[in-house]
Amino acid sequence: AKVKKVLEFGMKPILCIGETQEEYDLGITEEVCAMQVSKDLAGVSKKDLENVVLAYEPVWAIGTGLVCDAEDANKVHKFIRTVLAKMYDEEAAQSIRIQYGGSVTPESVDGLMAMSDIDGCLVGGASLFSDKFARICNFKAAEE
């Protein structure tokens, strides 16, 4: 309902989803994320989805200094796309921007941005330090 309301006011929402440490430890990350996406995008049309950005932010990583391994984060991003493909279609699933957020650092950004399904990073605390933020913004793309 909140995403739909933000869209109605002509704004572009960033929908943040992610599991707690307990849910991560229980191995139910995918179930939690699927439920959050399904619930939070209920009633949002495919056309309106074009104005939504998703961010996978494992709660256990926010502000803790812990970062989800890049490959694990990418698996969750891929899974989110399968959920979106079922809700909408493959085109919508592939075209939506899914960012990673959760203690993104200069040390982790290159690995995260090298992943196929991570479309960007949602930076929190590191944005308060110009040198760290500049390094994140100027991440080193993987050589092709």
CA–CA dist 53, 56 (Å, integer): 10
- The pLDDT value given to residue 66: 78
pLDDT in tens, the chain (144 residues): 899 999 999 999 999 999 999 999 999 999 999 999 999 999 999 999 999 999 999 999 987 877 799 999 999 999 999 999 999 999 999 999 999 998 899 999 999 999 999 999 999 889 999 999 999 999 987 665
What is the DSSP secondary structure assignment for residue 88, as one 8-state letter?
Answer: S
State both tokens at 68.
């989800």
CA–CA dist 82, 32 (Å, integer): 14
- The pLDDT value given to residue 55: 97
Distance from chain centroid for Cα 28: 17
